[in-house]
Amino acid sequence: MIEPHCSAEYLVEVRNLARDFDVSRPWLNRVLEGQPRQILNAVDGVSFAIKSGETLSLVGESGCGKSTVARLICGLYAPTRGGVIFDGVEMNGADPAQQAAMRSRLQMIFQDPYASLNPRWRVGDIVAEPMRAQGVPRGKAASRVNELLAQVKLSSRDADKFPHEFSGGQRQRISIARALSSNPRFLICDEPTSALDVSVQAQILNLMKDLQREFGLTYLFISHNLAVVSHISTRVGVMYLGRLVEIAGTRTLFKRPLHPYTQMLQSAIPDLQMSGKARTPVAGEVPNPLNPPTGCAFHPRCPHAMQRCKEQRPELLPQAGGGSVACHAVEEGQVPSPAA
């Protein structure tokens, strides 16, 4: 047995997690054309911890590594470096029995509910599949399916239907029911509302919050929508080109964002109340991840960039007001706070 390493305060600990992908052209093409291998650092040294019962959200622009972190935690990808400790057990070093037990307590809800549901299976079979994998008797599984459908505000009659007979919001409810069927403690939600209408998004978010209160669930919530994140999160981590640049409590981060990138993301949210508050302009584009800038990867877009930012990569450091940020300009007091 592997000795527990995870602090009793945390259900999940991610330690220096990294994943590299070889995106080189085929070997013969590289030899003939004299090209080197190309390695994509999709996730580069990410560390955080999640307390039992809380919701940590990861936000950032497309391609920043949010979904890759989710897949590393749930075991769909193997990490290049670092590791994940879940409920006191190092996932990479767990034996088969421990891995099977962890898979039942850790589930994932995917972004596109139609793509993640087998179109040839009836809903009852989809929701019961994790229970069959655990050896639950057929009669008990059928009864449990009806309970789960009721918990996600669907009818037991829906168990005989196919996914195409439902709306997008209803299909996401089916995905949630399937994730809950193994009685998990931890749910990884990879942009579960991004493909839904705004009104349906609110219904799904409220359902997830109700289920969290009822079952004591812990969430890792992946999103690019800060409005959604502010509604559901306990804490928020901001990612840029594979690294965490800021992490703080939700209220702290939205009231007093420190990193220039976080300020830029918040400025991109439409100001429906037309308050006239100062906004950080959205400048530039995300650099090529195959050839990232030296030093701080955000410095080509940062209005507060210094020479140090171009040469040294900043580390994630705790701040006096709460949270942590990786920014030389913040460290030297060059970034004005929106609350100031």
Instruction: Provide CB contacts within 8 A for 52, sequence distance 6+.
Output: 10, 11, 185, 216, 218
Q: For residue 262, which of 69, 59, 48 has the smallest C-alpha distance?
A: 59
Segment 210-225 shows an average pLDDT of: 93
- pLDDT (tens digit, 9 = 90+) per residue, 252-262? 999 999 999 99
- Is the pLDDT at 13 greater than 90? The verdict is yes
Which contiguous run of DSSP H or E holds residue 69?
helix 66-74
pLDDT of residue 25: 82
- Give how far Cα 3 sits from Cα of 6, 81, 87, 93, 131, Å: 9, 20, 11, 10, 28
CA angle 76, 91, 322 (to 5 degrees): 95
Which ranges constitute the DSSP H helices of 91-225?
96-105, 123-133, 138-151, 168-180, 198-215
pLDDT of residue 340: 45
Q: Are the C-beta atoms of 91 and 270 separated by less than 8 Å?
A: no
Q: For residue 191, which of 168, 169, 238, 223 has the smallest C-alpha distance?
A: 223
Three-state secondary structure call for residue 309: helix
Q: How far apart are CA 247 and CA 135, in angstroms?
A: 40
Pairing of strands 55-59, 218-222: parallel
pLDDT of residue 338: 63
- Is the pLDDT at 7 greater than 70? The verdict is no
Torsion of CA 295, 296, 299, 304, to 10 degrees: -110
Q: How confident is the model at residue 5 (pLDDT cuts 50, 70, 90)?
A: very low
Q: How far apart are CA 84 and CA 198, in angstroms?
A: 34
Instruction: Provide CB contacts within 8 A for 316, sequence distance 6+.
Output: 47, 244, 245, 246, 247, 324, 325, 326
CA angle 147, 221, 328 (to 5 degrees): 165
Instruction: Provide CB contacts within 8 A for 81, sequence distance 6+.
Output: 16, 17, 18, 45
Q: How confident is the model at residue 112 (pLDDT cuts 50, 70, 90)?
A: confident
Between 227 and 273, whose confidence is greater?
227
- Is the pLDDT at 34 greater than 80? The verdict is no
Structure tokens that stand for 48 in this block = 């955080």
Structure tokens that stand for 93 in this block = 């070093």
- pLDDT (tens digit, 9 = 90+) per residue, 60-87? 988 899 999 999 998 889 999 999 999 8
Phi, psi of 64 (to 5 degrees): -80, -10
SS3 string, 190-233, reads ECCCCCCCHHHHHHHHHHHHHHHHHHCCEEEEECCCHHHHHHHC
pLDDT of residue 40: 92
